[in-house]
Amino acid sequence: MRLSQFHLATVKEVPADAEIASHRLMLRAGMIRKLASGLYTWSPLGLRVLRKVETIVREEMDRAGAIEMLMPSVQPRELWEETGRWEKFGGQLLKIKDRKGQEFCYGPTHEEVVTDFARNELKSYKQLPVNFYQIQTKFRDEIRPRFGVMRAREFLMKDAYSFHLTQDSLAETYAAMYQAYVRIFTRLGLTFRAVQADTGAIGGNASHEFQVLADSGEDAIAFSDGSDYAANLEKAEALAPAAARPAPAAALQRVDTPTQKTIDDIAGFLQLSPRQCVKTLLVRGRDGLVALCLRGDHEINEVKAGKLAELPGESVLASEDEILATTGTRPGFIGPVGLPASIPVIVDRDAAVLADFVCGGNVDRTHCTGANWERDARITRVADLRNVVEGDLSPDGSGVLHIARGIEVGHVFQLGTKYAEALGATVVDETGKPQVMTMGCYGIGVSRIVAAAIEQRHDEAGILWPEAMAPWRVAVCVINPKNAPAVSAAAEALYQALRQRGIEALLDDRGVRAGSMFADMELIGIPHRVVVSERGLAAGTLEYRARGNSESRSLTEDELLALLG
């Protein structure tokens, strides 16, 4: 592409409302422009990158045997009523009324539509397994759209849905999709982890997220240094400590703690480690309040807590009024010693092996020291309640865990029969009997990948694209093209030589000064830069620099072509 024939519109100013690097750099590079909250136009430059991602996703889905189709973005309410999600999906569902008053939504996902398609198209087990996918525009009416295309309302997604007669068949396609995702993110040139994920509200048997590692990531990931174990922090199991609980050594005592409400306050006041304290959270149970006890240095894992049988499916802290009414004590002084018998006490595995610990006194402005389980405080049951932390043993027994930040760009699910059951999607099996189909679903946030790649790969000057995602692999920069026809001709010849070898090149023939040309090429992240100048021409060399390197090299054209080959 000749840049004079393209539309490049970089911006010097750092946009005020852009909070993260990818958002700032995409705006500054002119890859996207905001139309309205959460709605972005992809400029010609941005679209080139988006299409690179889309193409790799499509190639790998096809290679894995998935079959592409295209469903409407507008979906009728009736289908969403069949699964109950018209109400349950919540505010992210953009509801629409047409001119006749019929209700629709702008599809945030396509389980309903594809299952409806399948119940009409698939009649026999002989048609299974089949895996349909599409690359298509979705809309989620985020309450707070932000971070540019990272959390936009309208976005591009690859969604795939597989249909099976048996769980074994699903497991096979699930594994194939997992491998396809590994190939996709590897080909894209991104550092990523496939992590075990919670299946959450969507249900189902197994689920993995594909996370692009980046410090700015919203998700925390735990991974082992001794195996390939990796899980979303929500999901990562904290193993039970190997050592048993020591016998009590201290007597239970009460101390006045007039102003010390937090673990840090208490530990500081008593000059001991938060590891010697137990913190107690009162949450709303199915039947009155429930106490959750953790070691002072640990954090509650709300997903794990939400799954406790005593809780109604989610973990919600009790209000100050509820706590006061039930215990007679204010928050900050709650502890397991002397809690009303009506309150189940669920203790984290690590808190359960403490002896002689400090905890709230269940009386305003007091704490207990020398507290011991069984002797002083009830344990209803022990459970894994906490987030794993750096240095925990890996749940698979190999290595210790480290924590990294990630951006979720892909997700594979074993859905089971949830949607097929709701929509009555059956096929006849070998005996002629109708069977509800088993389903998997597999999503990739195509537009989000673009932002995630930038979060992972950027520097002060701009974006550092992996070669597979770069809008062009190499930029040919022409110094003073108008004043030096020989330079122009040499640049043109080099540009043609690159194109003939199938190397995507951008010829910067705009005639702007070298400084702003280089700044633009760095900002938009072109991996390789070649400068054609009068001086170089005289010496028979080209000045080459790799993006991210601060040193240039003089190369002959042959050396350059060999390097880029």
| In the complex, minimum distance from the CB of residue 460 to a copy of itself, in angstroms, rounded to a whole number | 25
Could you say whether residue 42 binds a copy of itself (CB under 8 A)? yes
| In the complex, minimum distance from the CB of residue 152 to a copy of itself, in angstroms, rounded to a whole number | 9
Distance CA 112, CA 74 (A): 12
Distance CA 32, CA 41 (A): 5
Could you say whether residue 83 binds a copy of itself (CB under 8 A)? no
| In the complex, minimum distance from the CB of residue 57 to a copy of itself, in angstroms, rounded to a whole number | 15
Interacting residues with a copy of itself between 318 and 377 (CB under 8 A): none
Residue 298, token pair as written in the block? 């640990």
Contact 184, 60 (CB under 8 A): yes
Distance CA 68, CA 163 (A): 14
Nearer to a copy of itself, 126 or 254 (CB): 126
- Can you tell me which of 10, 81, 83, 117 binds a copy of itself, judged by CB under 8 A? 117
Residue 65, token pair as written in the block? 């045997």
Could you say whether residue 125 binds a copy of itself (CB under 8 A)? no
Q: Which amino acid is at 294?
A: L
| In the complex, minimum distance from the CB of residue 240 to a copy of itself, in angstroms, rounded to a whole number | 44
Could you say whether residue 16 binds a copy of itself (CB under 8 A)? no
- Can you tell me which of 81, 82, 141, 172 binds a copy of itself, judged by CB under 8 A? 141
Could you say whether residue 442 binds a copy of itself (CB under 8 A)? no
Instruction: Tell me which residue of 348, 332, 435, 360 sits closest to 389, measured CA to CA.
Output: 348
CA 211 to chain CA centroid, Å, is: 5
Could you say whether residue 119 binds a copy of itself (CB under 8 A)? no
Phi, psi of 167 (to 5 degrees): -65, -35
| In the complex, minimum distance from the CB of residue 96 to a copy of itself, in angstroms, rounded to a whole number | 5
- Can you tell me which of 10, 73, 179, 366 binds a copy of itself, judged by CB under 8 A? 73
Instruction: Tell me which residue of 56, 26, 19 sits closest to 43, measured CA to CA.
Output: 26
Could you say whether residue 39 binds a copy of itself (CB under 8 A)? yes
Nearer to a copy of itself, 135 or 277 (CB): 135
| In the complex, minimum distance from the CB of residue 69 to a copy of itself, in angstroms, rounded to a whole number | 5
Buried b / exposed e over 483-517, threshold 16 CB at 10 Å, is ebeebbebbbebbebbeeeebbbbbbbbeeeeeeb
Could you say whether residue 63 binds a copy of itself (CB under 8 A)? no
Half-sphere exposure of 459 (CA within 13 A, CB side): 11
CA 84 to chain CA centroid, Å, is: 26
Could you say whether residue 143 binds a copy of itself (CB under 8 A)? yes
Nearer to a copy of itself, 72 or 328 (CB): 72
| In the complex, minimum distance from the CB of residue 141 to a copy of itself, in angstroms, rounded to a whole number | 5
Select the span of 21-29, 31-39, 234-242, 373-381 touching a copy of itself (CB under 8 A): 31-39
Could you say whether residue 397 binds a copy of itself (CB under 8 A)? no
Could you say whether residue 35 binds a copy of itself (CB under 8 A)? yes
Could you say whether residue 271 binds a copy of itself (CB under 8 A)? no
Could you say whether residue 96 binds a copy of itself (CB under 8 A)? yes
Contact 173, 137 (CB under 8 A): no
Binding marks (x or -) toward a copy of itself, 164..193, rule CB under 8 A?
------------------------------
Could you say whether residue 9 binds a copy of itself (CB under 8 A)? yes
- Can you tell me which of 40, 181, 373, 465 binds a copy of itself, judged by CB under 8 A? 40
* DSSP state, residue 239: P
Could you say whether residue 511 binds a copy of itself (CB under 8 A)? no
Select the span of 133-141, 185-193, 384-392, 395-403 touching a copy of itself (CB under 8 A): 133-141
Nearer to a copy of itself, 72 or 548 (CB): 72
Select the span of 127-135, 353-361, 400-408, 448-456 touching a copy of itself (CB under 8 A): 127-135
| In the complex, minimum distance from the CB of residue 452 to a copy of itself, in angstroms, rounded to a whole number | 19
Could you say whether residue 413 binds a copy of itself (CB under 8 A)? no
Instruction: Tell me which residue of 350, 370, 444 sits closest to 158, measured CA to CA.
Output: 444
Helix H or strand E segment including 26: helix 21-28
DSSP string, 275-336: GGBEEEEEEEETTEEEEEEEETT--B-HHHHHTSTTSSSS--BPPHHHHHHHHSS-TTS--S
3-state secondary structure 33-65: EEEECCEEEECHHHHHHHHHHHHHHHHHHHHCC
Could you say whether residue 130 binds a copy of itself (CB under 8 A)? yes
Distance CA 216, CA 233 (A): 16
Q: Residues, the chain, total?
A: 565
Q: What is the dihedral of CA 105, 108, 109, 110, to 10 degrees?
A: 20
Residue 446, token pair as written in the block? 């195509």
Nearer to a copy of itself, 67 or 539 (CB): 67
Contact 115, 441 (CB under 8 A): no
Could you say whether residue 430 binds a copy of itself (CB under 8 A)? no
Contact 461, 137 (CB under 8 A): no
Nearer to a copy of itself, 110 or 545 (CB): 110
- Can you tell me which of 60, 111, 116, 543 binds a copy of itself, judged by CB under 8 A? 116
Strand-pair category, 154-164 with 192-196 = unpaired
- Residue 243: CB partners within 8 Å, gap ≥ 6? 353
Binding site for a copy of itself (CB under 8 A): 5-7, 9, 30, 33, 35-37, 39-44, 46-47, 50, 65, 67-76, 91, 94, 96, 98-99, 102, 104, 106, 113, 116-117, 120-121, 127, 130, 132, 137, 139, 141, 143, 153-154
